[in-house]
Structure 1
Amino acid sequence: MLAHHPITLLLVSRYYHGAVPATLLYELERDCPAVLRFASKHLTLTQVSLSELWLHAWPGIEWARSVREVGQYVRNRVRPSAEARQERADMVRTQLWLQESTWVTSSQLHRIVAWLTHPVTRTDTMYAVRAALGQAPAAWA
């Protein structure tokens, strides 16, 4: 199970020296796909958590283990499945804080154009920031 989470353990070892045995780190790196190994050496805790302010078009693509998986991932990001679209609709229906977000209710084409033309902030991160600043949802269109 741990072999599937090298980024987590590598981050732990980076932030807490000696917390992960060197032999385990060696095994993780040896068994880890090259792209994921490269990403894990360059990512920070902020970049792999909800603390990351910006949405990325291809989050987690480094976890793909083959060119076929990369293709499936890209296809699903560009054209989400009916199940993924239903999950988004259910989230908007059941989570009131999302109803104020134009990002969540936008079409996939609109989101793709936005990703290509300007940085897009993460809805849930901005909700937490705005709540901490005491701004009512209606104030953040």
Structure 2
Amino acid sequence: MVEKLLMNGISAKFPDHKFIGEENTAESNRRVELTDAPTWIIDPVDGTMNFVHAMPHTCISIALYVNKVAEIGIVYNPVIEQFFTARKGKGAFLNGQRIRVSDEKGGDFDALSRRVLCAASSELAHQATQVLVQYYPDRD
């Protein structure tokens, strides 16, 4: 439903743009290829398991690719009201405030600073109430 709403709104402004969406791709069971045409890629519920279990780490994720290059990225977490936007060559923003990436070289705690969201006691408490099922994704 969210995906269709977004696609309809974008199509009204940009009728020639293409779409790759998690829901419409799954429904049609077809393989989709990114072309040079302006294409919106939409994940209407990124973090589905978190959403199902009422965990706050879920979002709507949207990107615009032109000539197979990302031009615009949007990530919105309605639970904690975070709205991230980025445009190629124009910077990135969180709720309208400019943000910057951390130093690419890293530091003493670099291995710990990448892709870690954890609060062990909270996770264990949620697991005990069967709200959270432990899942260990492969990390790069």
- Larger helix percent: 1
- Larger strand percent: 2
Fold agreement, TM-score > 0.5: no
Which structure has the higher relative contact order (CA within 8 Å, separation 6+)? Answer: 1
TM-score, with length taken from structure 2: 0.28
TM-score, with length taken from structure 1: 0.28
